[in-house]
Amino acid sequence: MASNLPASHDKQTSTSPQSVADSVSAAGSTAQDEVIELCHDLLRIDSVNRGNGDGNERSAAEYVAAKLAEVGLEPTLLESAPGRTSVIARVEGSDPGRAPLLIHGHLDVVPADPSDWRVHPFGGEVVDGSLWGRGAVDMKDMDAMTLAVVRDLVRSGRRPPRDLVLAFVADEEAGGTLGARWLVDNHPHLFADCTEAISEVGGFSYTVSDDLRLYLIETAQKGIAWMKLTVAGRVGHGSMTNDDNAVTALCEAVARVGRHRFPVVLTPTVRVFLNSVGEALGIDIDADDLETTIAKLGPIARMIGATIRNTANPTQLDAGEKVNVIPGEATAYVDGRFLPGQEEEFLRQIDELIGPAVRRDWVVFDQALETGFDGPLVDAMASALKAEDPSARAIPYMLSGGTDAKSFSRLGIRCFGFSPLLLPPDLDFSGMFHGVDERVPVESLRFGVRVLDRFLAAS
């Protein structure tokens, strides 16, 4: 349900508007300092999403809305269900004839067990030069950077070249059914005039040498195929022979899926990425042994390795109530991901692996995405990175997971992952996502604010 705040798509005015393009210096010290405070506050808000509708982003959404309203913007709070709250706002640009840019980020995070962590996952503490907490890179860092830059723009009276539509949404970690997908289905008018969008998991650095850092811009992502597998069998006493055991049949099917190695398929994005990395590292790309090449990439190898083929990983099993009772049904859950253009082939292979005795139902099924690495928006990303890091070289890559871009792209919006971070070479960045001791360097946040400020000036 909507709050009583004014609608976000009402235009904002300024007494002495100044184009951001007329002020090309990077974001001021206020925004660079403020991003730390904003990220700290967001990390301390428990917005855990456990899936199956069990989540609550209301407190985080109210915090974001208050920070936007504080500088004179007019955010709207929308709820798909009690507590499942998203925030939408609009910043007026200097050219009303241009289509707006959508900047979207999610407010929910996955669970975290404090006993596993060195620092409490909801403490937002600064330790060893980094902000620690669940959501530090996924993705309250980008939420904080967006807030800091936008607040600085509005306070200073500067206007971006075009309108900015801001969306801080619920439920991304469970597929977006109660967040971005619900917004697209029920409030498409809020985004109807947007043509391009930026969000998470892109624009981060991969250090090749002291004078060369590759910045990976997300231009593609795999499709999501989260499935429930069910096998029916004959109920019986655990002491007796049973040739129709549902648990046995299910485990055999799950083992086939989990051990299967899908064939290598290179999409245009992955080809460009591998060629770019090969050139930068001075290594030959062996198409017959891509795993060896990818293994040389260090911490990002796990993420990149998953983008050369479809994948299916069993994640949950459930059967029975007593050890001496053979259950009549057994279920398993599998996280499947397919490459752009591979949806039909992936489904064919999955059904062949599980066999006719297993029923397959979708938990979440969503499209794969791929766009070109070209156009003025890409040029603006590359230029902003280069301005803040002379050793930067922007290249495209495919995300092995998925984001809310899947929902917003249904409105014809061209989506990119661009959440700029200059990272220490030894940081296992991909391991931070849903991992223990998730953290983001403070200086990376400051860098991101400066890059986003320049990017918005040129976009």
Q: Is the domain of 25 the same as that of 132?
A: yes
CA distance 342 to 267: 10
Q: Is the domain of 306 the same as that of 251?
A: yes
**Tokens 């995070």, residue located:** 109
Q: Is the domain of 204 the same as that of 225?
A: no
Q: Are 58 and 83 in contact (CB under 8 A)?
A: yes
Q: Is the domain of 319 the same as that of 401?
A: no
Residue 70 included in any domain: yes
Rounded (to 5) percent helix, strand, coil in the chain: 35, 25, 40
Burial of residue 225 (CB within 10 Å: 0-12, 13-18, 19+) is: buried
Residue 5 included in any domain: no
Number of folded domains that form the chain? 2
Q: Is the domain of 401 the same as that of 286?
A: no
Residue 128 included in any domain: yes
Domain encompassing residue 326: 220-366
Beta bridge partners of 2: none
**Straight-line distance from the first to the last Cα atom of the chain, in angstroms, rounded to the nearest whole number:** 33
Each residue's pLDDT expressed in tens, for the chain with a length of 459 residues: 433 333 333 333 333 334 333 333 456 668 999 999 999 999 999 999 999 899 999 999 999 999 999 999 999 999 999 999 999 999 999 999 999 999 999 999 999 999 999 999 999 999 999 999 999 999 999 999 999 999 999 999 999 999 999 999 999 999 899 999 999 999 999 998 999 999 999 999 999 999 999 999 999 999 999 999 999 999 999 999 999 999 999 999 999 999 999 999 999 999 999 999 889 988 888 777 888 778 877 777 888 889 999 999 999 999 999 999 999 999 999 999 999 999 999 999 999 999 999 999 999 899 999 999 999 999 999 999 999 999 999 999 999 989 999 999 999 999 999 999 999 998 988 889 999 999 999 999 999 999 999 999 998
Q: Is the domain of 168 the same as that of 49?
A: yes
Q: Is the domain of 229 the same as that of 189?
A: no
Residue 347 included in any domain: yes
Check which CATH number belongs to the domain holding 50 and give it: 3.40.630.10
Residue 386 included in any domain: no
Question: Of 137, 193, 153, which Cα lies nearest the Cα of 440?
Answer: 137
15 CB-side CA count, 13 A: 3
Question: Of 263, 202, 255, which Cα lies nearest the Cα of 400?
Answer: 202
Q: Is the domain of 88 the same as that of 227?
A: no
The secondary structure of residue 99, as a DSSP letter, is P
Residue 225 included in any domain: yes
Q: Is the domain of 203 the same as that of 237?
A: no
Residue 351 included in any domain: yes
Check which CATH number belongs to the domain holding 343 and give it: 3.30.70.360
Q: Is the domain of 160 the same as that of 229?
A: no
The secondary structure of residue 9, as a DSSP letter, is T
Residue 126 included in any domain: yes
Phi and psi, residue 48, nearest 5°: -65, 135
Q: Is the domain of 197 the same as that of 68?
A: yes
Q: Is the domain of 197 the same as that of 342?
A: no
